[in-house]
């Protein structure tokens, strides 16, 4: 009959109306500033740079390859490459960024910088309260503000961080094995003519 | 004591007026009543906005505004300050005088309607012999203001909204009037106080409200539908359909002018609920004879707020209609049923006392409702569309 559906709908909303006063689990609202929910693991807001050792300057994984700067769709990343080199996490000599700025107001949280980074150096943060009263320099994050430790990364994205660490360890093992292999080969080569050259070759291999 | 409580506002007015010289007393008493109306209903509006937001939130299992003051009760104050401090923009190509006048015309016309509503025993500003007629004259002039707003803004959305509003209001104005005519036929008067007086008796515990008769019930339902459409409330809120028309005829209004439109809409809702209460729900009379000790003004406002609650409830439930559905519903279902209801009312009037008229009138109306629901609202169900040229 005409009007039946309307009555059913009205009954449903009346049930919601009364139910929301009776049972608390119906209300899903979180009273935000007072009550906070932990962000879900896959949450992503804004990129940050990872450093490994205790010193954020020395342990920064970023090698200033500038791929992220080129790939960034809104062009919010600005990198200045260093002139000199310093050893990275595998001990290889690499460039490092003397300046690494990201503009919060321009970033669109697309995560493309994270996807393209071959060094696992840039990751997405879950920190979302980035509002500031200074709309120019307050929204431009420099290298110091962007660097966060690997432990912090483990804290916010545990699964992803474990995967990254495993991958890095594998790479490091591979690099070590390769270094060892080249060292051994060099040693073997050196061993055939005069046996006296052997200790010098091992030293060379260790230094690689 | 009971009488004194019932008449407390009337006595208060007399007491205050008595301080003035005799020559000023009539003017002062009218002014006092006007001030009371102009203060009470906007106050009620402020409360309704926050209760509406909270009610809608509860219907959607949310909490609603709860930050400003205890339980968010001061939300209207914050809203008011916000709308007062906002920039008042008049579009450069708008017709400035008409743009300025439209919200004022709306609020004034709506306030005029309250003049004839009896809000309690002896509590009516002007006891007109043709009060109902006056009310509808004032109600119809709100359409002018809506079209003024839409036309003068020189904006496509405003104009479309205004045209929708006028089409809708005129269609449903007919129903609104015709459904009240049946009350006039039975009460034999256009005076709203006489209509209330005609419903103030009791049989046993039960009141003689018109809603408790077959024609009254149908008339009330048709009145409620028409009133919802008249006040542009959901599900008939096409004129301001925010998903397609930004905000309809008040798209180009900001700041306090927008607040006036908002106020006008809610006041129209109050006054139309007040009229429905007066016509069908016995005005200020108590729902049971043993409740007559509670003051009459309390009952009037209780019924008014109940109607407002139903308005909010419907808004939280029903989706917006399409323009063709709106028109079909008005002209193919509501209007024929209202016309039939007029016949049934006449039948009820001339069949005399007794149970026979209950049976006959109810049977006619129920049969008509089912039939019209089936036939009038029948929609052809088309199958999947086939294109001959594609075969």
Task: For residue B287, tell me if it sits in a domain.
Answer: yes
Residue A31 in any domain: the answer is: no
- What is the sign of the dihedral through the CA atoms of B381, B384, B390 and B391? negative
pLDDT in tens, B184-227: 998 888 999 989 888 888 888 888 888 888 899 999 999 999 99
Q: Is the pLDDT of residue B177 over 50?
A: yes
How much is the pLDDT for A8? 92
Question: How far is residue A185's CA from residue A178's CA, in Å, rounded to a whole number?
Answer: 10
Residue A118: give the domain boundaries: 46-156
Residue A56 and residue A78: Cα distance in Å, rounded?
19
First to last CA, chain A: 86
Q: Number of CB pairs < 8 Å for A and B?
A: 45
Judgement on whether residues A137 and A196 belong to the same structural domain of the protein: no
A147-149 and A46-51 as β-strands: parallel, antiparallel, unpaired?
parallel
Does pTM top 0.80 for this prediction?
no
pLDDT for B390 beyond 80: no
pLDDT of residue A207: 44
Nearest CA in chain A to B221: A3
Taking the Cβ of residue B317 and every Cβ of chain A, the question of whether any pair is shorter than 8 Å is answered with yes
Q: Is residue B303 part of a domain?
A: yes
- Comparing alpha-carbon positions, the chain B residue that sits nearest to A25 is B61
What local confidence, expressed as pLDDT, does residue A208 receive? 46
d(CA B357, CA B351): 6
Whether residues A120 and A174 fall in one domain: no
Exposure class string for B160-187: b at 16+ Cβ within 10 A, else e: bbbbbbbbbbebbbbbbbbbbbbbbebb
Q: Which residues span the domain enclosing B16?
A: 2-49+76-376
Mean pLDDT of A61-66: 86
Domain assignment of residue B381, yes or no: no
* Separation between Cα atoms, residue B365 and residue A33, nearest integer Å: 57
**CA end-to-end span of chain B:** 86
- Set of chain A residues whose Cβ sits within 8 Å of the Cβ of B372: 2
**Optimal mutation site among A1, A2, A3, interface B, most CBs of chain B within 10 A:** A2
Chain A residues in contact with chain B using a Cβ-Cβ cutoff of 8 Å? 1-3, 6, 9-10, 12-14, 16-17, 19-21, 26-29
pLDDT of residue A193: 64
Question: Is A37 inside any structural domain?
Answer: no
Under 8 Å between Cβ of B258 and B250:
yes
> Given this model, what pLDDT does residue B226 score?
92
- Within-domain flag for B389: no
Average pLDDT, chain B: 87
Q: From start to end of B188-290, where are the E strands?
A: 202-203, 206-207
Domain assignment present for residue A5? The answer is no
Mean pLDDT of A152-159: 87
Q: Are residues A94 and A179 in the same domain?
A: no
- Does residue A103 lie within any of the structural domains? yes
**pLDDT band at residue A203 using 50, 70 and 90 as cut-offs:** very low
Note whether residue B274 is domain-resident: yes
* Domain-ending residue, one of A135, A156, A177: A156
What is the number of structural domains in chain A?
2
3-state secondary structure of A99: strand
pLDDT in tens, B38-49: 999 999 999 899
Number of domains comprising chain B: 1
Other CB atoms within 10 Å distance of the CB of residue B298: 15
- ipTM, 2 dp: 0.77
Of all residues in chain A, the one with the smallest CA distance to B369 is: A2
- Tell me if A26 is assigned to some domain: no
Q: Tens of pLDDT along B144-155?
A: 888 898 889 888
Contact A16 B314 (CB under 8 A): no
The CATH number of the domain holding residue A148 is 3.30.70.3270
């Amino acid at each position: 009959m005409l009007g039946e559906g309307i009555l059913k709908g009205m009954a449903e909303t009346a049930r919601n109306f009364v139910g929301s006063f009776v049972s608390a689990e119906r209300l899903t609202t979180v009273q935000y500033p007072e009550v906070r929910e932990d962000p879900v693991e896959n949450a992503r807001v804004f990129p940050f740079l990872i450093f490994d050792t205790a010193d954020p300057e020395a342990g920064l994984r970023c090698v200033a390859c500038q791929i992220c700067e080129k790939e960034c769709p809104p062009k919010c990343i600005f990198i200045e490459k260093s002139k000199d080199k310093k050893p990275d996490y595998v001990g290889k000599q690499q460039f490092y960024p003397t300046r690494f700025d990201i503009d919060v107001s321009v970033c669109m949280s697309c995560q493309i910088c994270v996807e393209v980074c071959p060094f696992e150096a840039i990751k997405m943060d879950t920190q979302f309260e980035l509002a500031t009263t200074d709309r120019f320099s307050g929204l431009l994050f420099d290298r110091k503000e962007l660097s966060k430790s690997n432990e912090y990364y483990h804290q916010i994205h545990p699964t992803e961080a474990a995967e990254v660490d495993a991958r890095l360890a594998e790479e490091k093992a591979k690099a070590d094995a390769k270094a060892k292999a080249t060292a051994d080969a060099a040693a073997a080569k050196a061993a055939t003519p005069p046996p006296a050259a052997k200790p010098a070759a091992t030293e060379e291999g260790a230094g690689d | 004591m009971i009488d004194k409580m019932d008449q407390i506002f009337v006595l208060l007015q007399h007491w205050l007026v008595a301080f003035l010289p005799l020559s000023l007393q009539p003017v002062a008493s009218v002014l006092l009543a006007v001030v009371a109306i102009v203060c009470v209903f906007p106050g009620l509006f402020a409360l309704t906005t926050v209760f509406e937001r909270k009610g809608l939130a509860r219907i959607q299992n949310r909490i609603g505004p709860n930050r400003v003051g205890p339980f968010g009760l001061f939300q209207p104050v914050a809203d008011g300050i916000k709308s007062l401090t906002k920039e008042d923009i008049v579009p450069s190509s708008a017709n400035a005088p008409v743009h300025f006048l439209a919200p004022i015309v709306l609020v004034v016309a709506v306030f005029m309607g309250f003049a004839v509503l009896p809000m309690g025993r002896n509590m009516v500003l002007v006891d007109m012999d043709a009060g109902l007629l006056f009310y509808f004259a004032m109600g119809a002039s709100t359409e002018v203001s809506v079209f003024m707003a839409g036309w003068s803004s020189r904006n496509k959305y405003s104009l479309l909204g205004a045209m929708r509003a006028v089409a809708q209001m005129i269609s449903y104005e007919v129903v609104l009037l015709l459904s009240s005519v049946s009350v006039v036929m039975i009460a034999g008067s256009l005076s709203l106080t006489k209509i209330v007086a005609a419903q103030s008796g009791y049989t046993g515990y039960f009141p003689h409200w018109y809603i408790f008769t077959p024609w009254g019930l149908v008339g009330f339902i048709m009145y409620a539908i028409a009133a919802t459409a008249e006040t542009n409330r959901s599900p008939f809120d096409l004129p301001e359909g925010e998903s397609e028309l930004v905000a309809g005829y008040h798209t180009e209004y900001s700041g306090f002018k927008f607040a006036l439109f908002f106020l006008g809409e809610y006041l129209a809702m109050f006054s139309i609920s007040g009229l429905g209460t007066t016509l069908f729900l016995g005005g200020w009379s108590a729902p049971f004879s043993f409740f007559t000790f509670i003051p009459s003004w309390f009952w009037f406002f209780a019924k008014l707020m109940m109607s407002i609650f139903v308005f909010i409830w419907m808004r939280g439930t029903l989706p917006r209609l399409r323009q063709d559905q709106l028109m079909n519903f008005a002209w193919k279902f509501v209007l024929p049923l209202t016309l039939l209801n007029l016949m049934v009312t006449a039948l009820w009037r001339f069949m005399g006392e007794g149970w026979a008229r209950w049976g006959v009138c109810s049977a006619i109306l129920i049969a008509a409702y089912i039939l019209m629901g089936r036939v009038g609202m029948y929609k052809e169900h088309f199958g999947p569309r086939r294109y001959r040229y594609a075969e």
